[in-house]
Amino acid sequence: METLQKSRQKSSVTGVENNLSLGKLQSFFDYLKESLSNRLNIDFKLDDDNISVIKALCLYHNNNEYFESLYPNMSLKKGILLFGPVGTGKTTIMHLFHDTPQCYTTVVNCRKISDDYALEGLSAITKYNSMRKLALGISAFNHYGSSFCFDDLGAESPTKHFSETRNVMADIIQNRYDNRLRFNNTHITTNLSSAQIEELYGLRVLDRMKEMFNLLTLTGKSRRS
């Protein structure tokens, strides 16, 4: 089993001890791992394929400014766009960072949103146009509202409710941008390339996404085999 300390030389994220000690990173990761196991009965496996992303996300989710020093093109004010091949653990990672100093995140599958629109109509989309309020005490870090991670962008398809067909995720991304929600309240996982995103959602949405998100990439083979 990898640990954040032992894998220090293997990771592209180096020098984190200058601002947030490796020991504190390890403690934070252990807390998240235990929480994931308790909530979803998932034993998260740290390895060479995901450790760079995990270290980056540990910094990001602690609101640590060293994240921006390590990644000059990234910002704590942006959300996370986690890209990677099918089965590499993107969804599990977003569940891992469910409740952190940075945000409380609700993971919702894009295909489910599409299915909900077919049944419920516009209300299935508009509920994602703002933050979802949280009951007092739900978040260990006292967040009053939930961010959303839209999981598996591209798995959904344009959906019809009666006679009205919508590209639901294009609408949601555009609406969250237009409503001036803080960008770090929106996260996405996908295996789509930029060209595929433009083809499915249009150039306007792609441009918005470049402004809204930090791109992190997972590598490796599917963990489902």
Contact assessment for residue 149 and residue 112, using Cβ atoms and an 8 Å cutoff: no
Residue 20 has pLDDT above 90, yes or no: no
Contact assessment for residue 90 and residue 223, using Cβ atoms and an 8 Å cutoff: no
For 120, the domain range is 22-217
- Give the pLDDT band (50/70/90) at residue 162: confident
For the record, the structure tokens of 164 come out as: 């009205």
Name the pTM for this structure. 0.90
| Three-point CA angle 81, 148, 48, nearest 5° | 40
Residue 5 lies in a domain: no
Using DSSP's 3-state secondary structure scheme, residue 21 falls into coil
Residues 96-115 have pLDDT tens digits of 999 999 999 999 999 999 99
Residue 224 lies in a domain: no
- Give the pLDDT band (50/70/90) at residue 25: confident
Mean pLDDT of 9-19: 43
Residue 164 lies in a domain: yes
What does DSSP say about strands 164-166 and 159-161: parallel, antiparallel, or unpaired?
antiparallel
Look-up of token digits 């569940």: 95
Distances (CA, A) of 20 to 15, 16, 54, 127, 206: 9, 6, 14, 36, 33
7 vs 134, residue with greater confidence: 134
Q: Quote the pLDDT of residue 14.
A: 41
Q: What is the DSSP letter of 6?
A: T
Q: How many domains does the chain have?
A: 1
Percent of the residues in the chain that have a pLDDT greater than 70, as a whole number: 90
Q: What is the DSSP letter of 136?
A: T
For the record, the structure tokens of 77 come out as: 């004010």
Residue 16 lies in a domain: no
CATH number of the domain that residue 89 is part of = 3.40.50.300
Q: Quote the pLDDT of residue 17.
A: 46
Residue 115 lies in a domain: yes
Contact assessment for residue 194 and residue 35, using Cβ atoms and an 8 Å cutoff: no
Contact assessment for residue 75 and residue 81, using Cβ atoms and an 8 Å cutoff: no
Residue 194 lies in a domain: yes
Residue 3 lies in a domain: no
Q: Per DSSP, what are the bridge partners of residue 40?
A: none
Residue 105 lies in a domain: yes
Contact assessment for residue 26 and residue 65, using Cβ atoms and an 8 Å cutoff: no
